[in-house]
Amino acid sequence: MIRLLLAEDQGMMRGALALLLGLEEDFEVVAQVGSGDEIVPKALETTPDVALLDIELPGRSGLDAAAELREELPGCRVLILTTFGRPGHLRRAMEAGAGGFLVKDGPVEELAAAVRRILDGERVIDPALAAAALSAGPNPLTAREREALTAAVDGATSADIASKLHLSESTVRNYLSSAIGKTGTRNRMEAVRAARRNGWL
């Protein structure tokens, strides 16, 4: 049996996915979680063969959890399932060691086949998204610029961001200014939107 962990914050979607995958005779859903913080502890407890992770989750993203899973439970393969196929998310998923990246609107048969393929050591990537990622190029933002933009999401001031990141205000302004320049936008909120649109945050 192939043991599966599902991480999806929408209860109905999670239940439907568990039900559909449970119909496959070689699959067993051993864990279901609704937040990113639960992924690694539940995986360590249930030792799934494959973790199917959404990206946008409460607590922490599926991409961050995927990177930690690779360290904590190297035998568990990761398949990212997302509503929004963004090139930057695909790149980050691959960097985090994910074995696959699919958008949620595909047929369940395709998902089941992808689970089996990544267990065989293959990489499974949505073809349209792979092409978009190649044409989009790499994420131009540094880790610190991404942190500053992420902290600016709710309209925080430079002083708020500086306090949160333990940096000086002038350093925060430099990071934000650099991020604005790299995203070709006019202000920090536009930069946040552009970075999110490209999957860089």
What's the rounded Cα separation, in Å, for the pair 72 and 108?
29
* Range list for CATH 3.40.50.2300 in the chain: 2-135
* Range list for CATH 1.10.10.10 in the chain: 143-197
pLDDT digits (tens, 9 = 90+) for 118-150: 999 999 988 767 666 655 567 788 889 999 999
Give, as one character, the DSSP assignment of residue 162.
H
Q: What is the mean pLDDT of residues 9-23?
A: 93
Q: What is the mean pLDDT of residues 83-95?
A: 77
87 pLDDT higher than 90: no
State the fold for domain 143-197: Arc Repressor Mutant, subunit A (1.10.10)
Percentage of residues of the chain with pLDDT beyond 90:
60
Q: What is the mean pLDDT of residues 42-54?
A: 97
Q: Which residues pair with 82 in a beta bridge?
A: 103
What's the rounded Cα separation, in Å, for the pair 43 and 134?
32
Q: Are the beta carbons of 104 and 153 closer than 8 angstroms? A: no
> Which CATH superfamily includes the segment(s) 2-135?
Response regulator (3.40.50.2300)
Q: What is the mean pLDDT of residues 105-112?
A: 86
Angle at 177 (CA atoms; ends 173, 179), nearest 5 degrees: 120
pTM (two decimals)? 0.69
Phi, psi of 74 (to 5 degrees): -60, -20
Q: What is the DSSP string of 79-134?
A: EEEESS--HHHHHHHHHTT-SEEEETTS-HHHHHHHHHHHHTT--EE-HHHHHHHH
